[in-house]
Amino acid sequence: MIYSRIAGTGSELPAKIVTNHDLEQIMDTSDQWIRDRTGIRERRVISEGETTTTLAEAACQKAIEAAGVDPGEIDLFVMGTTTPDLVFPSSACLVQKKLGLPDCGAMDVNAACSGFMYALSIADKYIRCGDAGKVLVCGAETLTQVVNWERRDTAVLFGDGAGAVVLEDSAEPGILSTHIHANGDYADLLRTDTGVSQGFGDLSHNDYKPEVEMKGNEVFKVAVRTLHRIVEETLGANDLQKSDLDWLIPHQANLRIIAATARMLDMSMDHVVVTVDRHGNTSAASVPLALDEAVRDGRIQRGDMASKFDDGDLHAKADTKIRHFVDACKMG
């Protein structure tokens, strides 16, 4: 039987740091207000010359180097993003060129905050069915470009970044299972206010851009309410108990939701990878960013059992769907 395993990880963050104290200067908010509600202290924001694909390129290059593979060996490239450089061609194709990848399949997956997890699920299936031996998977976002910096309900939450992994085929289990869900009933909880075929609104203003809209309290409730079902589904599918997990790598959106997930799994926060305080919510980039950090600083070792959650109820609403994803992954 063919399995997929994570062979290498990589990540990239913009150099520019925007702290809560910086935001106090431009909107009606405070460091204490933001930290109490989200756990966020600072976030990274792109500067001139940086885009989703420049971040993705750097993260992917690091993952390829960590995996010890040649770019020419990559059979497929799947990139999760909801903030592509262009409507088309896909950001995956642009990064493919920059990395010098072969003439392999390359595609974007727009699943908002669950984008990386959806991309990882696709890559896992390609390897398991024998259609690919090595797949590059990336999650990259620049959501700071679609927030209104005068609105504290959304602007304080998001940051920019990219994370990537190389999956390869293996005779031993690496990724144990993937589980993805969606529910369009929650489309209005977290979304952008416009789109391509719907129209971009008042185009008389040259600086017009889409803007994130969110019903924060409802988002929080839906996310917490759904976590238990997703936890039980994934553990049950793999005949695992909560005590079998060594690490939790959740989507980094809100520290209170992360803590609630840990309590549900009876896990100490010492075994939860947390980056939301320094990165903010980087959407599709959050899980691979956190994974790469924990691998590189030595916390996560090969053979550890890690559960990677994207509580998509909370965030994948920007593309009109709520997504839930849990990936039980044995690093090895």
Which pLDDT belongs to residue 164?
98
Of the residues 60, 93, 113, 138, only one is catalytic, namely 113
Of the residues 281, 315, 324, 329, only one is catalytic, namely 281
Pair 72, 121 in one domain: yes
Q: By C-alpha distance, which of 81, 228, 217, 69 is closest to 161?
A: 81
Give the residue from 175, 194, 217 where a domain finishes.
175
Give the residue from 152, 175, 198 where a domain finishes.
175
Question: Does pLDDT of 316 surpass 80?
Answer: no
CA distance 97 to 18: 31
Of the residues 251, 279, 315, 324, only one is catalytic, namely 251
CA distance 286 to 309: 10
pLDDT in tens, 187-203: 999 998 888 888 776 65
Pair 171, 196 in one domain: no
Torsion of CA 327, 323, 145, 261, to 10 degrees: -60
Which pLDDT belongs to residue 309?
67
pLDDT in tens, 121-169: 999 999 999 999 999 999 999 999 999 999 999 999 999 999 999 999 9
User: Taking CA 244 as the corner, what is the angle to CA 238 and CA 249, rounded to the nearest 5 degrees?
Assistant: 85
Q: Where do we find the tokens 């993260």?
A: 59
- Count the domains in the chain: 2
281 has catalytic annotation: yes
Least confident of 13-17, 65-69, 325-329: 325-329
Q: Are 325 and 307 in contact (CB under 8 A)?
A: no
CA atoms within 13 A of residue 192's CA, in its CB half-sphere: 20
232 pLDDT tier (thresholds 50, 70, 90): confident
179 has catalytic annotation: no
Give the residue from 122, 142, 175 where a domain finishes.
175
Cβ within 8 Å of residue 256, ≥6 positions away? 37, 38, 39, 220
Q: By C-alpha distance, which of 5, 3, 1 is closest to 302?
A: 5
Which two structure tokens, joined as six digits, stand for 9? 């990880």
pLDDT in tens, 74-100: 999 999 999 999 999 999 999 999 999
Query: What is the span of the domain harbouring residue 305?
Result: 176-330
Pair 135, 251 in one domain: no
251 has catalytic annotation: yes
Which pLDDT belongs to residue 208?
64
Q: Are 66 and 8 in contact (CB under 8 A)?
A: yes
CA distance 160 to 141: 6
Which pLDDT belongs to residue 296?
97
Q: By C-alpha distance, which of 309, 134, 123 is closest to 233?
A: 309
Say which CATH number the domain at 190 has.
Answer: 3.40.47.10
Pair 50, 66 in one domain: yes
Pair 241, 293 in one domain: yes
Pair 170, 183 in one domain: no
Q: By C-alpha distance, which of 197, 135, 190, 194 is closest to 167?
A: 135
